[in-house]
Amino acid sequence: MKMMMNMGMALLIFVLILMAETMKAEDPYRFFNWNVTYGDIYPLGVKQQGILINGQFPGPQIDAVTNDNVIVSIYNSLDEPFLITWNGIQQRRNSWQDGVYGTNCPIPPGQNFTYILQFKDQIGSFFYFPSLAFHRAAGGYGGISISSRPLIPVPFPPTAGDFTILAGDWFKQNHSDLRAILDGGNDLPFPDGLLINGRGSNGFTFNVDQGKVYRLRISNVGLTKSINFRIQGHKMLLVEVEGTHTLQNTYSSLDIHLGQSYSVLVTADQPPANYYMVVSSRFTSQILTATSILRYSNSPGTFPAPPPGGPTIQIDWSLNQARSIRQNLTASGPRPNPQGSYHYGMVNFTRTIRLANSAPVINGKQRYAVNSVSFIPADTPLKIADYFKISGVFSIGTISDSPTGGGGYLQTSVMGADFRGFAEIVFENSEDTVQSWHIDGHFFFVVGMDGGLWSAASRASYNLRDGISRSTVQVYPKSWTALYVPLDNVGMWNIRSQNWDRQYLGQQFYLRVYSPVNSWRDEYPIPKNAITCGRASGRKTRPL
């Protein structure tokens, strides 16, 4: 009896130790409760209806560490359905949490939905924003900062402060009025101004101490325009782009295109004063400008000079700067190994996909298209229909792998791809405006960009060694941009224009990355709390 009791006690102790080790090994959880409401805002001095999160515009910052589990419970107090997407967060094996209409049913008015995210193997600077109904034009966005895990070296010393800067163009009209303009088949007017962290010129101050170094995480959260960012009298050391440590080049100003995020280090090494931070529009005949203040703690309150000018319509200048942004092959990424250990240039791509943007008029209305297809949402989210095997919602192959050269037509366009493929994707822009493109669920290597027409001969100019890895890339007018993309994330993923009027009017499609193995190893099952809608209304997800 005594021996059995001892054996039982030993077994109990073993189980407790095992449970403790399991709990200790689990990645930390961070919880956020958000109430999404309308509220009055005055970003350009005119009263507007904005979208607030917990009463804030911009919304709350998410600060986390690599591999953290981030639980965001959202209560929709708006009078219409709502979704938030997480720009640049890869959602590994989990497109269920992507927060776009192709993967998620919207949160109905007066209801709640909880996103269960994991920032798996990611570091860097990102942001979130509303993805439905042109809500992005009303606010509802905020910054995401993912720090490296302890003991994993970062290729620069600790900084005295970490600032998030959310900048972009803004309209004085409410989002519903802008949406009505687009629904009527018309172009948006020119933006009324630029914002920095939700405010117009000199509405925001960043306080620094002389001699110290600060990290600035800058994102273009605008709707239609590229911007240039600069700080009076100061240089910027680029250290990170959308989760990738970069070669640490110094810049006087940076072009930041729609949907892109950059991290720079700035040293407060000038005489004590107030200095202008300047954001201005790029490639526009009318130049929009907004300023904030970089204030030294020992400043007498004066400015040494007027705000500095920046580049305006120069494309070659921007192209050369973009080519100079490369990944740091000796720095650790989210894991303790050099970022350059993935030799993308030595992998044979299995498929070439050429994607051409266009602006066709369809049924008498302005639309935008990819390879002649202007996307229209289905009555049921594509991921939900795929899971429940609901036929007639979408078809694979409804967008071609190359431009058709035709006009434009409406279609719920979905492209199929095999898990663990390696694609060459070329964005081709024959228009006179800069385009910006984003791929959900994946990172990609920017291997080349140039003017003119892309051809197989263009591969001779590819950077196959240290091209920057990111999730959003620009395509200059009458130009092309080439990417290498590891298709290593099973799911239904949105490929979209970050020019938000174009996205709204059809310049997007979905990439269904498919694995024949029905295993959690490749993809998580449908969440227990998933909202069902459309033809899937009333369907059960899975047992609690």
179-213: burial string, b at 16+ Cβ within 10 Å, e else: bebbeeeeebeebbbbbbbbbbbebbebebeeeeb
Q: pLDDT below 70 — which residues of the chain?
A: 1-25, 543-544
pLDDT of residue 445: 98
Closest among 309, 159, 335, 320 to 239, alpha carbons compared:
159
Q: Do the domains 344-529 and 154-326 match in fold?
A: yes
**CATH T-level assignment (fold) for domain 25-150:** Immunoglobulin-like (2.60.40)
pLDDT of residue 10: 40
3-state secondary structure of 43: coil
Q: Model confidence over 377-405: pLDDT tens digits?
A: 999 999 999 999 999 999 999 999 999 98
**CATH T-level assignment (fold) for domain 154-326:** Immunoglobulin-like (2.60.40)
DSSP state of 399: S
Q: Model confidence over 34-89: pLDDT tens digits?
A: 999 999 999 999 999 999 999 999 999 999 999 999 999 999 999 999 999 999 99
pLDDT of residue 308: 96
CA 514 – CA 321 distance, rounded (Å): 37
pLDDT of residue 406: 83
CA 84 – CA 101 distance, rounded (Å): 10
- CATH number given to 344-529: 2.60.40.420
The domain ranges of the chain are 25-150, 154-326, 344-529
CA 263 – CA 291 distance, rounded (Å): 19
What's the pTM value of the predicted model, to 2 decimals?
Answer: 0.94
pLDDT of residue 288: 98
